């Protein structure tokens, strides 16, 4: 009887990892029905992890450079006409208005410009009354 705790023949502690592509026989069947040498292990049937890792890094780098950033749609936040900008400046400097009201009035100027192509004097007067209340005569 053997008194070895390892039990004879199963003593290999350096078992080579088998190639995951070909399964260890070094050959693969391609789509044309031909048998080709495994591109992963080069026909040895053993896994070559270092090389596989290099390939992954390369692919990642190439992908990183092509960032697919869509151009942001620029939202107009300030009137484009001189009269509109002047009015917007008065609104911005008006101490009596809250930031919320200022933003809304400025938006109204931009909308008015968009539909009329300019700021009419009537519109400017009407707007001024909103943030510069005239004392009743």
Binding site for Zn ion (CB under 5 A): 19, 21-22, 38, 40-41
Instruction: Tell me whether residue 40 or residue 106 sits nearer to Zn ion (CB atom).
Output: 40
- The answer to whether the CB of 83 falls within 8 A of the CB of 119 is yes
Instruction: Tell me whether residue 47 or residue 128 sits nearer to Zn ion (CB atom).
Output: 47
Instruction: Tell me whether residue 22 or residue 109 sits nearer to Zn ion (CB atom).
Output: 22
Instruction: Tell me whether residue 38 or residue 88 sits nearer to Zn ion (CB atom).
Output: 38
* H or E segment to which residue 29 belongs: strand 27-29
In angstroms, the Cα distances linking 8 to 13, 14, 15, 16 are: 13, 16, 16, 20
In angstroms, the Cα distances linking 71 to 67, 68, 74, 94 are: 12, 9, 9, 35
- Find the shortest distance in angstroms from Cβ 38 to Zn ion: 3
- Find the shortest distance in angstroms from Cβ 50 to Zn ion: 15
- Find the shortest distance in angstroms from Cβ 1 to Zn ion: 42
Two structure tokens written together for 50: 């270092």
Task: For residues 80 and 75, give the distance between their C-alpha atoms in angstroms, rounded to a whole number.
Answer: 12
In this structure, what DSSP letter does residue 44 have? S
- Find the shortest distance in angstroms from Cβ 46 to Zn ion: 8
Instruction: Tell me whether residue 21 or residue 94 sits nearer to Zn ion (CB atom).
Output: 21
- Find the shortest distance in angstroms from Cβ 12 to Zn ion: 20
């Amino acid at each position: 009887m053997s008194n070895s705790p390892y039990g004879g023949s199963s003593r290999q502690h350096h078992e080579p990892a088998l190639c995951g592509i070909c399964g260890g026989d070094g050959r693969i069947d391609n789509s044309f029905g031909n048998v080709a040498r495994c591109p992963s292990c080069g026909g040895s049937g053993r896994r070559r992890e270092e090389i596989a890792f290099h390939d992954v890094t390369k692919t990642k780098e190439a992908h990183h450079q092509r960032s697919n950033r869509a151009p942001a749609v620029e939202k107009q936040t300030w009137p484009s006409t001189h009269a509109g900008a002047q009015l917007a400046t008065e609104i911005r400097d008006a101490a009596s208005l809250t930031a919320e009201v200022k933003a809304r009035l400025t938006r109204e100027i931009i909308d008015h410009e968009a539909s009329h192509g300019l700021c009419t004097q009537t519109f400017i007067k009407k707007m001024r009354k909103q943030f510069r209340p005239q004392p009743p005569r």
